[in-house]
Structure 1
Amino acid sequence: MDRKVTVIGAGNVGATTAQRLAEKELCDVVLIDIAEGLPQGKALDLAEAAPIEKHDAKLEGSNVYDPSADSDIVIITAGIPRKPGMSRDDLISTNAKIIKNVTAQVAALSPNAILIIVSNPLDAMCHVAFDASGFPANRVIGMAGVLDSARFRTFIARELNVSVENTHAFVLGGHGDTMVPLPRYSTVAGIPITELMPKDRIDALIERTRNGGAEIVGLLKTGSAFYAPASAAVEMAESILKDKKKILPCAVRLKGEYGISDLFIGVPVKLGATGVEEVIQITLTEEEQAALNNSAQAVQGLVDTLKKLGL
């Protein structure tokens, strides 16, 4: 294949991301992890499934970064996962050091790549990757809104007993407790959910969406979500690799849009061959704008923490 995507981190999220990329025949995949044998073993296992899954993507595992050279996209999933009782924000110091080191190495080998950040706390890690890479803002993108919107869509479909394919939803803001699901822009076959269910049920679904990651952490007890995060990252990568120009909610560095500047925050964007091609500005009510501002303040708090830590 003529496209290459490197996935950093061969844990559950990274390995599942590699699997989805290969099985969709989007690109060749390089899987990198510091654990000796882990990326090599998982890459070989995935390669041996190729004859059955009927794809010809090449998969390579490595403990060094050399095979990642000239990647079109680098998806960064490295870092420690959440455990029960931990918030995404609890991971900030450890994961910031990891992301800083990882990003510097992949940026040097793939200076034209687009970075998709998956590691938590997501919005803060985008800032670390942006600074460490020196890349323009359109080539550093956080995976958050696609995942949060998918969770919201799942809950809407279950509540109304309809196909998930008929559902569309937008979740803006930071990837955490202050995220901003937008019921007015969330629809089933084009019908706003505000016309299909009462406010108390919508509020319950919003609350479950906000706690979606924590709910899974609580159930798994020894890890965090990985199937849906991997799918979300791959949907973003596919839009870039195929220049599909999908409108997806992603964490991007704003330059005054929505009244927010110099912060990575989740908003709808057009994703194409060059990364973020346009920030889509939708009209928010005063209440929605206030919620987005509150979410931005929470992200700013994480960024301030990074500065205090010298990261």
Structure 2
Amino acid sequence: MESEKPVPPVKIGVVGTGHVGATFAFTLLLRGLARELALVDRRRDKAEGDAMDLNHAVPFARPVRIVAGGYETLEDASIVCIAAGVAQRPGEDRLNLLRRNIAVLREVVAGITAHCPEAIILVASNPVDILSYAAWKLSGYPAARVIGSGTILDTARLRYLLSRHYRVDPRSVHAHIIGEHGDSEVPVWSLANIAGIRLEDFEGYEPEAHRVIFEKARDAAYEIIRRKGATYYAIAVGLARIVESILRDENTVLSVSTLVNGYHGVRDVYVGVPAVVGRNGVERVIELPLAREEVEAFRRSASILRGVLDSLDL
């Protein structure tokens, strides 16, 4: 039996130690995916406190050095996750909020390019598709090395909910959500299956149940935020899964946000699609043979993103 590929002794940076960034760092610690973690946050005390707290967990986990500081602490990092952003002000419209987040991103990307020019950038901040495109433009890095979390979490939510309906292991459910990580995202029902069996041929198939399941997957973040204020556990694990596929050079197909040029007619936009993720970042994009209505919905979703990008100075 082939043994699992070892994880090389790498340094991973996390910029933004809010709920998502701190939980992501904790997940990396538990899974032994880094030899060194570098935490950066505008609230330096917060990053330092997280580093102290995480270091105290090392005796229970695997050897890892955890440091906090300015962008210089990212020196020689192989992967840097951007989880930084500003909160919406009362009465502030989304476009102005986005422009303020772009301003933050400019500073972050400048820090990354100055200290780890060979790093892969992993974007977790929202709106992730827009900020991933901006990070690509601002960094000057090849698009393969700037990856957004995209619809990896939406896809996981869909698979989980389908697994509950059909009473199977979520890992046996093969289904994707593509497009914007947001309200216009698209479920690919035409290719969804369980163990190779199309859903419409699987025991318990109910078209109306699928509609409800997708709506629950799409709107899950709103429901979680209403109950506890933020989502961070599942996305942290999803980000760690992307990192693992890169470090182990697994070439795993994951639903991430990446640059597409000609994907069902969509060009020059970062959008969630299945992609092969390996040592070099996005190795290639998988163009799904979508049904006609899915192609149309995907194009509409991408056009929304393109419209937002056109309103920005990038």
TM-score calculated relative to the size of structure 1: 0.92
CA apart distance, 1:234: 0.9
CA apart distance, 1:265: 1.0
Q: Tell me which residue corresponds to 1:72.
A: 78
Deviations 1:61-101 (A, max 9, x none): 22x11110111111101013579999977741221111121
The yes-or-no answer on 1:164 pairing with 2:170 is yes
Residues 79, 32 of structure 1: alpha-carbon distance in 2 compared, 3 angstrom cutoff: same
Q: Tell me which residue corresponds to 1:8.
A: 15
- Between the two proteins, the alignment pairs up a number of residues equal to 304
Equivalent pair of 1:88/1:120 in contact (CA under 8 Å) = no
Equivalent pair of 1:241/1:273 in contact (CA under 8 Å) = yes
Equivalent pair of 2:188/2:290 in contact (CA under 8 Å) = no
CA distance in 2, matches of 1:109, 1:212: 37
Residues 165, 35 of structure 1: alpha-carbon distance in 2 compared, 3 angstrom cutoff: same
CA apart distance, 1:207: 1.2
Counterpart of 1:93 in 2: which secondary structure?
helix
Q: Tell me which residue corresponds to 1:92.
A: 98
Residues 139, 92 of structure 1: alpha-carbon distance in 2 compared, 3 angstrom cutoff: same
Residues 192, 31 of structure 1: alpha-carbon distance in 2 compared, 3 angstrom cutoff: farther
CA apart distance, 1:7: 0.7
Q: Tell me which residue corresponds to 2:213.
A: 205
Q: Tell me which residue corresponds to 1:45.
A: 53
Residues 103, 233 of structure 1: alpha-carbon distance in 2 compared, 3 angstrom cutoff: same
Matched residue type, 1:172:
I
CA distance in 2, matches of 1:200, 1:89: 35
Matched residue type, 2:288:
I
Matched residue type, 2:26:
Q
Is there any run of 5+ residues in structure 2 with no aligned partner, and where?
Answer: 1-7
CA apart distance, 1:60: 1.2
Residues 300, 231 of structure 1: alpha-carbon distance in 2 compared, 3 angstrom cutoff: same
Q: Tell me which residue corresponds to 1:267.
A: 273
How do 1:12-23 residues align onto structure 2 when only pairs under 5 Å count?
Answer: 12-23=19-30
CA distance in 2, matches of 1:181, 1:87: 28
How do 1:1-311 residues align onto structure 2 when only pairs under 5 Å count?
Answer: 2-27=9-34, 28-52=36-60, 54-62=61-69, 64-80=70-86, 91-196=97-202, 197-220=205-228, 223-307=229-313, 311=314
Equivalent pair of 1:147/1:228 in contact (CA under 8 Å) = yes
Residues 84, 16 of structure 1: alpha-carbon distance in 2 compared, 3 angstrom cutoff: farther
Deviations 1:89-134 (A, max 9, x none): 7741221111121011111211111111111111110121011111
Q: Tell me which residue corresponds to 2:5.
A: none
- RMSD between aligned residues: 2.0
Deviations 1:237-264 (A, max 9, x none): 1101110100111111112222111110
CA distance in 1, matches of 2:55, 2:92: 35
The percent identity for this pair of structures is 34
Q: Tell me which residue corresponds to 2:3.
A: none
CA distance in 1, matches of 2:91, 2:214: 21
Equivalent pair of 1:186/1:192 in contact (CA under 8 Å) = yes
Counterpart of 2:264 in 1: which secondary structure?
helix
Is there any run of 5+ residues in structure 1 with no aligned partner, and where?
Answer: none
Deviations 1:123-160 (A, max 9, x none): 11012101111101111111022111111112112222
Counterpart of 2:99 in 1: which secondary structure?
helix
CA distance in 1, matches of 2:181, 2:96: 13
CA distance in 2, matches of 1:160, 1:88: 38
Matched residue type, 2:206:
P
Deviations 1:149-195 (A, max 9, x none): 11111211222232223223211101110111112333333333333
Matched residue type, 2:220:
G
Residues 6, 87 of structure 1: alpha-carbon distance in 2 compared, 3 angstrom cutoff: farther
Counterpart of 1:269 in 2: which secondary structure?
strand
Residues 219, 89 of structure 1: alpha-carbon distance in 2 compared, 3 angstrom cutoff: farther
